[in-house]
């Protein structure tokens, strides 16, 4: 076992090499930020299961593996034909593709962006318009609090940048694809995404993580979403990493007055996956829908920690998370709702329902309410259990076979979440992906 | 009316978790007939309905129930449904995430397939459904809602009757479909059930109250008490029960 101090030193050494080579062209403020972030990581180190936030998820396998910093792939290694079946945005989508963490212009489809809308690599944005990026980058994802956000920030070199200027309603889905080739030896990439939807603007963004092969690698992603006053953002996230891969990710959001944010995170992949979603309702009258879903089998472990921070009055948040856990899978859900002093007339609702498909499957569900205002409406509920026998019998009494009935009830757990997705084309594509994954499992494929 | 026997129950004893609830039920239902099974709470009415539909929680200990000449105990719930037996549940179950349209079409197709008929696609199905929806006074907004999820008590009961209309069973058992309905809903439900009657099918109404029988005229009325049918008669028996209450028959009941 690697002593923890060595682990930290390994990343600090890797950072020195990184700062010395590839990252030299960055603006001074970014260099300073990276230095501060690696220093913070060196202080924090990897979390252990002794820490409450990591009680159910051990990242020891990540800490103990020596990952080489991914250098990105030349685009010719990956062909558009390989990516095609993995795209979910449909034919109209704007597509920004990254291969092993590096922007792949040859695979991206970015055209007809009018009215100042931008969908591009973050590296390009930093070069061309550093001030715009500076206004938002790392403002919502504090690296002081998380060693993983700190590492991501320290190694920040590329990622996606989406910018929809004030008042612009952009109706084509913007698909950000992070492709892992899972090739030679364990590598780590630190993709960073920044999505800025200004006052009164509208956008639909899909963040997608896919693998071209089975293999061991680590994705350490950070995404920041800034939704301006009166703006609307529909954000989909599809995690389909390889079954051997690790993914640690944080999504940080901030919302202005009367804004509407709908988050749809779907986790299907990875051997070990952790996704923290931290949202702040920072303007009164803002509305948030956090509508997520995980489907695990084999020995997959997936942990979602969500925080909904009601910082202002008259905001509404509705959180729905469903999990289907089969075989030896382990699902973890921790949902924290904070209602700050003065955040009166908060309307908050949280549910987490887990379906266990085998006796070895496990789910841990922890709602946490912290309410510091008195005129609020907050409800929460969570369930963990096998298929409902009464429901099975009801379906069978209508002529359905036990297998069909069980399949329907299981699919219903996913369909309930999919049904809340507003974009019809994306919903259908994601439905197809989820059905294929469910069929794969019922076919008995033990792959992980 | 034909004389074809659809259901023949003889000396049926059944129960749940080792508790015997039915203690020797005898009943014969022929095509074209409407039977009402009445009785006080706890008399075994719902148990009888569940046993006939094949609820795996219940066990038959003695006696038999034959449906279309087959021993029901040997048939799985789905086999009974495919053979045309239908139970409208007293407490319909919510199926999260699955739309009513998808559920109804899957059920209808499972039954059609077992009969060797072609399965219906979504469009053909919707065409066939239009008229059935009208019967119960619904628009198609109910089809895109998840099955019984967030439905009011009355909506759940109507949804059972919609399934009855779509699946066109040979033997329909309605377990307290009338309870919890307001008078307008009751009329709609009763009218629909009445309209769906066919010479080759039969209906068994399990009910606590007389009022649904003023809308669907039964040919036979049976009183279930202590797990046995203690009295059978024509529709006048229902009226007599309404006037005198269940104590009247309970007093006549043989000691269980």
Q: How confident is the model at residue A440 (pLDDT cuts 50, 70, 90)?
A: confident
Rounded-to-integer distance, Cα A324 and Cα A355, Å:
5
Residue A24 has pLDDT above 70, yes or no: no
Rounded-to-integer distance, Cα A307 and Cα A277, Å:
6
Predicted pLDDT of residue B1:
45
Residue B256 has pLDDT above 80, yes or no: no
Give the one of B81, B87, B97 whose C-beta lies nearest to A411's C-beta. Answer: B97
From chain A, pick out residues whose CB is under 8 angstroms from the CB of B53: 397
Predicted pLDDT of residue A447:
39
In a domain, A34, yes or no: no
What's the maximum distance between 2 C-alpha atoms anywhere in chain A?
69
**pLDDT single digits (tens) A28-63:** 999 999 999 999 999 999 999 999 999 999 999 999
Residue B255 has pLDDT above 50, yes or no: no
Rounded-to-integer distance, Cα A290 and Cα A296, Å:
20
Residue A414 at interface with chain B, using a CB cutoff of 8 Å: yes
Rounded-to-integer distance, Cα B37 and Cα A320, Å:
44
**Structure token digits, residue A411:** 């699919």
Predicted pLDDT of residue A20:
82
C-beta of residue A196 within 8 angstroms of C-beta of residue A136: yes
Domains of chain B listed by start with CATH number: 5-252 (3.40.50.300)
Predicted pLDDT of residue A442:
54
A187 or B246, which is more confident? A187
In a domain, A444, yes or no: no
Give the one of A353, A404, A412 whose C-beta lies nearest to B95's C-beta. Answer: A412
Rounded-to-integer distance, Cα B86 and Cα A298, Å:
39
ipTM (interface predicted TM): 0.95
Contacts 24+ apart (CB under 8 A), A82-88: A82/A212, A83/A107, A83/A177, A83/A179, A86/A177, A86/A179, A86/A208, A86/A210, A86/A240, A87/A175, A87/A177, A87/A208, A88/A175, A88/A206, A88/A208, A88/A236, A88/A238, A88/A426, A88/A429, A88/A430, A88/A433
Residue A19 has pLDDT above 90, yes or no: no
Phi, psi (rounded to 5 degrees) for B158? -65, -35
B111 contacts A399? CB cut-off 8 A: yes
Residue A400 at interface with chain B, using a CB cutoff of 8 Å: yes
Q: How confident is the model at residue B209 (pLDDT cuts 50, 70, 90)?
A: confident
Residue B80 at interface with chain A, using a CB cutoff of 8 Å: yes
From chain B, pick out residues whose CB is under 8 angstroms from the CB of A417: 97
In a domain, A60, yes or no: no
Length of chain A: 448
**pLDDT single digits (tens) A326-385:** 999 999 999 999 999 999 999 999 999 999 999 999 999 999 999 999 999 999 999 999
Residue of B nearest to A416 (CA): B97
Predicted pLDDT of residue A445:
38
Residue B252 has pLDDT above 90, yes or no: no
* Average pLDDT of span B16-24: 95
pLDDT above 70 coverage of chain A, percent:
95
Beta strands in A297-361 (DSSP E): 301-310, 316-325, 330-339, 346-356
pLDDT above 90 coverage of chain B, percent:
77
A321: closest CA among A396, A399, A381?
A381
Phi, psi (rounded to 5 degrees) for A226? -115, 115
Residue B253 has pLDDT above 60, yes or no: no
* Average pLDDT of span A405-432: 96
Give the one of A393, A400, A418 whose C-beta lies nearest to B110's C-beta. Answer: A400
Task: Give the number of domains in chain A.
Answer: 1
Report the alpha-carbon angle A374-A376-A380, nearest 5.
120
Query: What's this model's pTM, rounded to 2 decimal places?
Result: 0.92
Give the one of B93, B97, B111 whose C-beta lies nearest to A416's C-beta. Answer: B97
A223 or A7, which is more confident? A223
In a domain, A325, yes or no: yes
Predicted pLDDT of residue B168:
95
- At B253 the three-state DSSP class reads coil
Residue B53 at interface with chain A, using a CB cutoff of 8 Å: yes
- At A308 the three-state DSSP class reads strand
A149: closest CA among A179, A185, A104, A193?
A193
Rounded-to-integer distance, Cα A43 and Cα A37, Å:
10
Residue A21 CB neighbours (<10 A): 9
Residue A169 CB neighbours (<10 A): 12
Partners of A164 in the β-ladder: A197
Q: Is A300 exposed, middle or buried (0-12, 13-18, 19+ CB in 10 A)?
A: buried
**Structure token digits, residue A406:** 């069980």
Residue B14 CB neighbours (<10 A): 24
The count of C-alpha atoms lying within 13 angstroms of the C-alpha of A12, restricted to the half-sphere facing its C-beta, is 15
A272 or A78, which is more confident? A272
Report the alpha-carbon angle B10-B15-B19, nearest 5.
135
* Average pLDDT of span A278-291: 98
Residue B203 has pLDDT above 50, yes or no: yes
Predicted pLDDT of residue B243:
85
C-beta of residue A231 within 8 angstroms of C-beta of residue A256: yes
Alpha-helical (H) ranges within A155-305 are none
B106 contacts A408? CB cut-off 8 A: yes
From chain B, pick out residues whose CB is under 8 angstroms from the CB of A349: none
Rounded-to-integer distance, Cα A126 and Cα A377, Å:
43
Rounded-to-integer distance, Cα B125 and Cα B111, Å:
14
Residue of A nearest to B55 (CA): A393
In a domain, A420, yes or no: no
In a domain, A362, yes or no: yes
- At B112 the three-state DSSP class reads helix
Phi, psi (rounded to 5 degrees) for A33? -65, -40
In a domain, A63, yes or no: no
User: Hey, CA dihedral for A144, A149, A152, A157, is it positive or negative?
Assistant: negative
C-beta of residue A257 within 8 angstroms of C-beta of residue A283: yes
| H or E element in which residue A362 lies | strand A362-371
Predicted pLDDT of residue A389:
96
C-beta of residue A269 within 8 angstroms of C-beta of residue A241: yes
Predicted pLDDT of residue A446:
39
Phi, psi (rounded to 5 degrees) for B50? -65, -40
Residue B81 CB neighbours (<10 A): 26
Q: What's the domain range around A247? A: 70-387
Predicted pLDDT of residue A443:
45
Rounded-to-integer distance, Cα A350 and Cα A340, Å:
17
* Average pLDDT of span A235-243: 97
Phi, psi (rounded to 5 degrees) for A285? 75, 5
Q: Find which of B67, B97, B145 to mutate to test the A interface (most A CBs within 10 Å of its CB).
A: B97
Alpha-helical (H) ranges within B6-57 are 45-53
Judged by average pLDDT, the poorest of A101-105, A220-224, B169-173 is A101-105
In a domain, A251, yes or no: yes
| In the block, residue with structure tokens 């090739």 | A183
Predicted pLDDT of residue A397:
98
Q: How confident is the model at residue A444 (pLDDT cuts 50, 70, 90)?
A: very low
Beta strands in A213-361 (DSSP E): 217-227, 232-240, 246-255, 260-267, 272-281, 287-296, 301-310, 316-325, 330-339, 346-356
What's the maximum distance between 2 C-alpha atoms anywhere in chain B?
57
User: Hey, CA dihedral for B147, B169, A406, B110, is it positive or negative?
Assistant: negative
Predicted pLDDT of residue A74:
55
Residue B157 has pLDDT above 90, yes or no: yes
């Amino acid at each position: 076992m690697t002593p923890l101090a060595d682990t930290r030193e390994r990343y600090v050494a890797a950072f020195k090499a990184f700062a010395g080579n590839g990252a030299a062209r960055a603006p001074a403020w970014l260099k300073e930020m990276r230095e501060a972030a690696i220093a913070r990581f060196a202080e924090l180190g990897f979390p252990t299961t002794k820490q409450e936030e990591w009680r159910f998820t051990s990242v020891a396998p990540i800490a103990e593996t020596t990952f080489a910093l991914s250098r990105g792939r030349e685009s010719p290694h990956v062909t558009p034909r390989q990516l095609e079946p993995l795209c979910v945005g449909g034919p109209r989508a704007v597509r920004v593709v990254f291969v092993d963490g590096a922007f792949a212009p040859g695979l991206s489809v970015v055209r007809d962006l009018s009215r100042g809308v931008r969908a591009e690599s973050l590296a390009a944005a930093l070069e061309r318009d550093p001030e715009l990026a500076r206004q938002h980058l790392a403002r919502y994802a504090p690296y002081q609090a998380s060693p993983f956000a700190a590492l991501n920030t320290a190694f920040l070199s590329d990622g996606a940048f989406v910018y929809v200027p004030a008042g612009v309603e952009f109706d084509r889905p913007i698909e950000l694809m992070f492709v892992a080739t899972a090739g030679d030896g364990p590598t780590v990439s630190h993709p960073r995404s920044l999505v800025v939807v200004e006052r009164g603007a509208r956008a639909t963004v899909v963040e997608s993580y896919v693998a071209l092969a089975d293999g061991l690698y680590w994705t350490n992603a950070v995404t920041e979403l800034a939704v301006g006053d009166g703006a609307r953002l529909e954000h989909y996230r599809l995690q389909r990493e390889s079954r051997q891969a690790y993914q640690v990710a944080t999504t940080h959001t901030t919302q202005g007055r009367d804004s509407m944010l709908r988050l749809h995170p779907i986790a299907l992949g990875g051997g070990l996956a952790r996704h923290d979603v931290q949202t702040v309702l920072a303007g009164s009258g803002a509305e948030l829908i956090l509508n997520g879903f995980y489907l695990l089998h084999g020995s997959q472990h997936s942990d979602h920690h969500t925080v909904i921070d009601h910082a202002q009055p008259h905001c509404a948040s509705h959180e729905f998370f469903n999990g289907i856990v089969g075989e030896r899978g382990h699902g973890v859900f921790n949902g924290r709702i904070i209602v700050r002093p003065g955040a009166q007339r908060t309307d908050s609702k949280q549910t987490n329902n887990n379906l266990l498909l085998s006796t070895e499957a496990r789910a841990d569900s922890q709602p946490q309410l912290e309410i510091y205002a008195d005129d609020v409406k907050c409800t929460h509920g969570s369930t963990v259990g096998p298929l409902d026998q009464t429901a099975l019998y009801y379906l069978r009494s209508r002529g359905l076979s036990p297998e069909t009935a069980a399949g329907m009830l299981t699919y219903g757990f996913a369909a309930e979440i999919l049904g809340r997705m507003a974009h019809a084309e994306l919903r259908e594509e994601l439905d197809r992906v989820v059905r294929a994954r469910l069929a794969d499992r019922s076919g008995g494929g033990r792959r992980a | 009316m034909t004389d074809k026997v659809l259901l023949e129950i003889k000396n049926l004893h059944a129960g749940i978790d080792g508790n015997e609830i039915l203690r020797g039920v005898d009943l014969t239902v022929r095509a074209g007939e409407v039977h009402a099974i009445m009785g006080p709470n706890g008399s075994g009415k719902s148990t009888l309905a569940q046993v006939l539909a094949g609820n795996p929680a219940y066990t038959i200990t003695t006696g038999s129930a034959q449906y279309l000449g087959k021993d029901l105990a040997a048939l799985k719930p789905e086999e009974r449904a495919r053979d045309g037996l239908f139970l409208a549940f007293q407490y319909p179950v919510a199926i999260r995430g699955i739309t009513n349209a998808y559920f109804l079409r899957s059920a209808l197709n499972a039954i059609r397939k077992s009969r060797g008929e072609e399965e219906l696609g979504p469009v053909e199905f919707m065409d066939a459904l239009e008229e059935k929806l009208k019967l119960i006074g619904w628009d198609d907004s109910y089809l895109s809602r998840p099955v019984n999820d967030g439905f009011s008590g009355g909506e759940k009961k109507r949804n059972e009757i919609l399934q009855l209309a779509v699946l066109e069973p040979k033997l329909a058992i309605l377990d307290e479909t009338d309870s919890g309905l307001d008078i307008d809903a009751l009329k709609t439900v009763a009218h629909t059930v009445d309209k769906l009657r066919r010479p080759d099918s039969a209906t068994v109404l399990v009910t606590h109250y007389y009022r649904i029988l003023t809308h669907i005229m039964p040919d036979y009325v049976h009183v279930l008490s202590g797990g046995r049918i203690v009295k059978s008669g024509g529709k006048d028996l229902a009226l007599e029960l309404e006037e005198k209450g269940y104590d009247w028959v309970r007093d006549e009941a043989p000691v269980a």
